Amino acid sequence: MSEEKENMQTAGKDIPRATARRLPIYYRYLKILLDSGVTRISSNELSKAVKFDAATIRRDFSYFGALGKRGYGYDVKELMEFFGDILNQDNLASVALIGVGNLGQALLNFNFHQSSNARISAAFDVNPEIVNTIQSGVPIYSTDDLEKQIQDQRIEVAILTVPAEVAQQTAKRLANAGIQGILNFTPLRLDVPKEVRVQNVDLTNELQILLYFINNFEKDEN
Amino acid sequence: MSEEKENMQTAGKDIPRATARRLPIYYRYLKILLDSGVTRISSNELSKAVKFDAATIRRDFSYFGALGKRGYGYDVKELMEFFGDILNQDNLASVALIGVGNLGQALLNFNFHQSSNARISAAFDVNPEIVNTIQSGVPIYSTDDLEKQIQDQRIEVAILTVPAEVAQQTAKRLANAGIQGILNFTPLRLDVPKEVRVQNVDLTNELQILLYFINNFEKDEN
DNA sequence: TTACAATTGTTAACACATTCACATAGTGCT
DNA sequence: AGCACTATGTGAATGTGTTAACAATTGTAA
């Protein structure tokens, strides 16, 4: 297959990864600002809220064009709507949750929908006691029906919260079923075809990193 | 060579952040390898498992001295023990969980202890129905007792899973109580004194980033 | 013992990310 | 309308992270 790396001008330009990771954070704060009646904001004020350097914020915004006004700042509503478009906020994404254990259960309750353009529309587990029930408004299917449901419901993203032992084989099935992205909560580094994007969320790791920094740097920057 | 121990003790300051973030991942895989009887490994083999470039792995290891042998690779047991020391694996850290809601509950069950040197030894909540009970072996205290318990139990790290509305004020109390690190699951960017380290885990964000990249046909790691 | 294959440790180049610093352009006051 | 501010957008400098490439060194086999 030919990879169309140049063709991604669709919604944004060639946005640096570090900038992309900050977009949802900007978006969230802009929404808060708008809700509390703030109509304009400067990069310096925003900097205090989101804790990124003001120059970083201005540079980030500038990748999308000249969104501000010199001597004035940025119009909150305008900016928020702009980022809303980039983040596809008017388009609800259906997400599958694979593995309804402790963490899976919590994520079902978590209600991503409230704070993002995504919604868990199907969950899967092997436990016959919960299969075919509805938890937090989400139907639990048997893992046997993984491929069928993903295709029927046109689900593009999966949240993987299965035990480590079955993580790799499940990821393979997800990839075969046409999933485009996996939010991976297992500690394994998944092997997937290159067209599938994996975003790792490794809770044990985050805690260990925090402990490492505390033990090794008495005081330092964030 | 013979000053390996010294390197380990003093290395902290010079280790790049990016390297530090990979240490727990190396450690985990080395443990898996050791458990399955593997005694030696090359940077290339390890690269296939953890999905970092082999040169990156060698560079990471080299910050701690010459841990391998040319033409041979790395001794799994030696390496694992070395990283175990760096990550303070023989020293169990007591962690407080603040906020026993959906996510907090899941993290209580999660049992960090099994896969790391940390253990949740106290949890806090405002809900009188669960205060003074024990959940997953962890006592739930009233949030009123936050400062007292943290100081009595010499807890240095807190996992913050409270509602966003009270996140900042709780963080302030944690900082005042002498907490050194916060694993922040709330969507807020906390304001804390510079000696307190914050590690943000923003679940909605991770999902949004994944969706953004999928929608914009890009492909890269983490 | 010597030769060969394997694999490290590291230099130098590159790539990505952040920040400084300021010309520029627009705001808002009088 | 003019002037003093303000805050953007960005070139240049700096900082951080990754990777190609290979000399150096060791294990292993004959």
pLDDT in tens, A116-139: 999 999 999 999 999 999 999 999
* Region A17-86: CATH code: 1.10.10.10
Instruction: Please list, residue by residue across A19-36, b when 16 or more beta carbons sit within 10 angstroms of its beta carbon and e when fewer do.
Output: bbbbbbbbbbbbbbbbee
A:26-45 residues touching chain B, CB 8 A cutoff: 27-28
pLDDT score recorded for residue A113: 86
The mean of the pLDDT values for chain B is 91
Average pLDDT of the residues in B180-190: 97
> In Å, what is the separation between the CA of B53 and the C1' of D19?
8
- C-alpha B186/C-alpha B183 separation (Å) is 9
pLDDT at B45 over 70: yes
Average pLDDT of the residues in B130-143: 97
CB < 8 Å to A135, chain B: none
Q: Domain locations in chain A?
A: 17-86, 93-205
**Strand C reaches within 7 A of the A13 CB:** no
pLDDT score recorded for residue B212: 96
What are the tokens at A18? 């570090």
Q: How confident is the model at residue B217 (pLDDT cuts 50, 70, 90)?
A: low
* Region A93-205: CATH code: 3.40.50.720
User: Which of B45, B131, B44 shows the shortest CA–CA distance to B36?
Assistant: B45
pLDDT at B4 over 50: no
> Touching check for A96 and chain B: CB below 8 Å?
no
Residue B76 in contact with residue B27, Cβ under 8 Å? no
Model pTM above 0.85 = yes
User: Which of A112, A1, A119, A12 shows the shortest CA–CA distance to A61?
Assistant: A12
Q: How confident is the model at residue B222 (pLDDT cuts 50, 70, 90)?
A: very low
pLDDT at B81 over 80: yes
User: Which of A72, A65, A71, A82 shows the shortest CA–CA distance to A31?
Assistant: A82
User: Which of A210, A202, A87, A198 shows the shortest CA–CA distance to B222?
Assistant: A198
Q: With a cut of 70, which residues of chain A have pLDDT below it?
A: 1-13, 218-222
A-B C-beta contacts closer than 8 Å: 192
| Domain B4-86 CATH assignment equals 1.20.5.50 | no
